[in-house]
Amino acid sequence: MRILLTMLVTLFLIGCDKAADQTGIATAEASKETFEWKLVTTWPKNYPGLGLAPENFAEKVEAMSGGRLKVKVFGAGQLVPAFEVFDAVSQGTAEMGHGASYYWTGKSKATAFFTSIPFGLNAQEMNGWLHYGGGLELWRELYNEFNLIPFAAGNTGVQMAGWFNREINSMEDIKGLKMRIPGLGGDVISRAGGVSVTISGGELYTAMQTGVIDALEWVSPYNDIAFGFHQVAKYYYYPGWHEPGPTLELIVNKDAYSELPEDLQAIVEVAARAVNQDMLDEYTARNNEALITLVETHGVQLRKLPDEVVTELRGIAAEMLEELSEDSDIARRIAESVKSFQRQATEYHKISEEAYYQARKEGDE
């Protein structure tokens, strides 16, 4: 019996060794597999800030994967037009895309929540809501029917209200105003009596120059100076009520993502998270320098929107947000999640961010 038992144990151990060897071989083979992906964007190729984010992402992924996952970036119009990025990735024409979710409200009105909400979360709060407040889970639930997995992949911080060829002194000046402003902000302008237009970044300069539009919002000084908007518009208004925390997205075709080994999936996630923070850092560092150049070198007239106008826009935005929350069950759940998070963040920021800014201001005086 002892001899028989010894033989059985020996055979079992040999079998385990063979299974382990086979698993090791399979793992080694999988680690050698390489992938070449296409990434399409809504931005001009290599455009500062927005356009460089996908380039930075691709570089990080290739470096971290040791070349096993290579991502080739295509600017707007190189492979697909800017506003066809969503469909291209959903259908598998490209494995990845980089843009802004509010471009896709034709697919679902609820997509607008994940770029920015007028008078809503700022960049810091958006990141908190997405990654620790349930926002990302809702985002992925929304995109699941389109065969997409979204990641946050960039944030510019509070934007400017935009460039105008007429002064804004009251709500009367909004009426009839043709303005390039997408998302919920555009809906607010339309309800206020203006005309919201969605035009890709590469077409904005000409549209403003030729009078197709009277005003436009793009991003902030760092990006706006690169497009030369100061050459075709006189007034530069703030604050950016419409996009206080605009999040950019990296969308990945779900089928393509599922084919990646787990370590490459993790690399995609980590690289997106890195790019998300890196963009905010860059805009924080470069915006004021660009603004000084616009004002002091190019003579741009920096203006603050009248309090009356901001108050009216805030009221309209609240009404529209309520209407949007009634569009679908998931829109309602997203709206409730955002509102709850914003209430909590606002309460704490009264004794943290706001109190600190006030203390710093008093010290400067």
pTM for the model stands at 0.88
**Predicted pLDDT at 16:** 55
- Residue 318 to residue 313: CA distance in whole angstroms: 9
Task: Report which secondary-structure segment, H or E, holds 270.
Answer: helix 262-292
Arithmetic mean of pLDDT, 63-80? 98
Bond into 239 cis (ω within 30): yes
Question: Does the residue 15 lie in any domain?
Answer: no
Q: Residue 90 falls within a domain, yes or no?
A: yes
Distances (CA, A) of 151 to 94, 172, 219: 16, 40, 20
20, pLDDT greater than 70:
no
Q: Please tell me the predicted confidence (pLDDT) of residue 361.
A: 87
First to last CA, the chain: 93
**Are the CB atoms for 247 and 170 separated by under 8 Å?**
no
Q: What percentage of residues in the chain have a pLDDT greater than 90?
A: 88
Q: Which residues fall within 8 angstroms of residue 260, CB to CB, at 6 or more apart?
A: 35, 69, 268
46 — alpha (psi -120 to 50), left (phi > 0) or beta? left
Per-residue pLDDT, 24: 46
Sort 308 into a burial class: Cβ within 10 Å, 0-12 / 13-18 / 19+. exposed
pLDDT confidence tier of residue 28, bands split at 50, 70 and 90: very low
Token pair 């409730």 is found at 336
Q: How confident is the model at residue 32 (pLDDT cuts 50, 70, 90)?
A: confident
Query: Is 357 inside any structural domain?
Result: no
pLDDT above 60: residue 5: no
268 in a structural domain: yes
Average pLDDT over residues 253-262: 98
pLDDT of residue 241: 98
Label residue 13 by pLDDT band (50, 70, 90): low
Residue 185, both tokens: 């902000």
Domain total in the chain = 1
Structure confidence by residue, pLDDT tens digits, 113-158? 999 999 999 999 999 999 999 999 999 999 999 999 999 999 999 9
The residue type of 349 is H
pLDDT at 14: 58
Q: Which residues contact 104 (CB under 8 A, 6 or more apart)?
A: 86, 111
pLDDT digits (tens, 9 = 90+) for 80-119: 999 999 999 999 999 999 999 999 999 999 999 999 999 9
Q: How many whole angstroms separate alpha carbon 254 and alpha carbon 126?
A: 24
Residue 364 is predicted with a pLDDT of 72
Does some domain include residue 296?
no
Rg (CA), the chain: 25
CB atoms within 10 A of CB 111: 25
> What is the distance, to the nearest Å, from the Cα of residue 105 to the centroid of all Cα atoms in its chain?
14
At 132, which CATH number?
Answer: 3.40.190.170
Segment 167-206, tens digit of pLDDT: 999 999 999 999 999 999 999 999 999 999 999 888 999 9
Residues 6+ apart with CB under 8 A from 134: 337
Q: How far is CA 320 from CA 35, 183, 261, in A?
A: 44, 11, 43
Give the pLDDT mean for 355-360.
94
Answer whether residue 334 is part of any domain.
no
What separation in angstroms does the CA of 161 have from each of 81, 184, 187, 255, 307? 26, 14, 15, 39, 13
Look at residue 357 and tell me whether its pLDDT is greater than 70: yes
pLDDT value for 25 = 44
> 108 lies in which domain range?
35-155+245-284
Mean pLDDT of the chain: 93
CA angle 272, 130, 290 (to 5 degrees): 65
Examine residue 269 and state whether it is found in any structural domain, yes or no. yes
Q: What is the pLDDT of residue 336?
A: 98
